[in-house]
Amino acid sequence: MQSALQNFPADLPMSMTIAAARHPGGPEMLTLMERPRPSAAAGELLLKIRSAGVNRADCLQRMGQYPVPAGATDIIGLECAGEVIEVGAGVQGWHVGDRACALLIGGGYAEYVNVPAGQCLPVPIGLDWDEAASLMETCCTVWSNVIMRAALEPGETLLIHGGSSGIGVTALQIFSALGHRVFTTAGSEEKCSACLGLGAELAINYRDQDFVEHVLMATNGRGVDVILDMVGGDYMPRNLKALAEDGRLVGIAATRGREVNVDLMDAYRRRLTITGSALRRQPIAEKARIVESVRQHVWPLIESGRFKAVVHSVYPLAEAAAAHQLMESSMHIGKIVLRVA
């Protein structure tokens, strides 16, 4: 049992560089600044960050539209990869110098971050820092929603909206590797063709095709068992039409609107379930449960090469503004990463 704090190196700097916005606003608000360096409390690791993943929620936070959960750091960044520098009291199984991927409540756009040890996994064999940094937020979101919440069963079918997003490229690969028939939507022919290459059986360009019609055609009128949605709004009644009897809709965002108009009696008659979740706000123990399930079920897919990190672009931390501009342009396919050290 590890009881004492392991600390390396002894001469850690007292401050660190972060990328942050002094005031809410556009991507150009992101600049480098200095902050005190955190340290590892009991149950935590301190990581020296090598790379950090960029997620859509980071843009919302920069604009002041994503309130930071109570008690969390206000530094942007929900995932990273780096070396363990300190091991907090009571932590077992981690050592100074280990390479870790971390799911963060915040703090990724920085040189150092403290994180509960249960939210860390070893960097999968063969991955570089940029690839390792791109995994935790999407793997945990996708796995916890599609499997732990919507209970996708072997042999069932899945529709993933936004197949070219960071979330989408993750879900497409995981569930096609596990043998599911997977359908997806994306906003251009180039994105649709990338989705087909990542395991989608059918990629529907939502700008000129009706996904309900195409999903029903592909399933002989039955519909899909599970939908992973990030759109909401007017997609909601259409999602319900695309679900099979006993189907489950699991939502992670509502970019086209939170308030919806659906036929509840149709949902009841066909025994549909509507659910969803927000990963960042979940308790530490629940995040650890999700991370452990990802370690058991998703990490082997990565280490056997059946799921590959899809890193579209890498920017130095000093160019976080350009990374956010790219994300907001929606020209990317897969993940955007910041290289910190």
Contact residues for ligand NAP, defined by CB under 6 A: 55-57, 137, 141, 161-162, 164-167, 185-187, 191, 206, 230-231, 252-253, 255, 277-279, 327, 330
Name the minimum Å distance from CB 85 to ligand NAP.
Answer: 27
- The residue among 220 and 329 lying less far from ligand NAP, judged by its C-beta, is 329
Burial category of 169 from C-beta neighbours within 10 Å (exposed 0-12, middle 13-18, buried 19 and up): buried
- The residue among 234 and 246 lying less far from ligand NAP, judged by its C-beta, is 234
Name the minimum Å distance from CB 168 to ligand NAP.
Answer: 6
CA quadruple 159, 162, 164, 169: dihedral, nearest 10: -50
H and E: helices and strands count for the chain: 11, 16
Q: How far apart are CA 317 and CA 22, in angstroms?
A: 16
Q: Where are the beta strands (DSSP E) in 38-188?
A: 44-54, 79-87, 99-103, 112-116, 120-122, 158-160, 182-186
Which position's Cβ is nearest ligand NAP? 187
Name the minimum Å distance from CB 278 to ligand NAP.
Answer: 4
Name the minimum Å distance from CB 57 to ligand NAP.
Answer: 5
Q: How far apart are CA 96 and CA 87, in angstroms?
A: 7
- The residue among 119 and 185 lying less far from ligand NAP, judged by its C-beta, is 185
Which DSSP letter does residue 118 get? G
Name the minimum Å distance from CB 270 to ligand NAP.
Answer: 23
Q: Residue ranges of the alpha helices (H) in 144-256?
A: 166-177, 189-197, 211-218, 235-242
- The residue among 91 and 192 lying less far from ligand NAP, judged by its C-beta, is 192
- The residue among 96 and 326 lying less far from ligand NAP, judged by its C-beta, is 326
Name the minimum Å distance from CB 166 to ligand NAP.
Answer: 3
- Residue pair 339/129 in contact (Cβ under 8 Å)? The answer is yes
Name the minimum Å distance from CB 5 to ligand NAP.
Answer: 32
The rounded Cα 159 to chain-centroid distance in angstroms is: 17
- The residue among 37 and 191 lying less far from ligand NAP, judged by its C-beta, is 191
- The residue among 17 and 170 lying less far from ligand NAP, judged by its C-beta, is 170
Among residues 68, 90, 98, 122, the alpha carbon closest in space to that of 8 is found at 98
- Angstrom distances, CA of residue 220 to CA of 98, 161, 216: 50, 20, 6
Which amino acid is residue 56, in one-letter code?
Answer: R
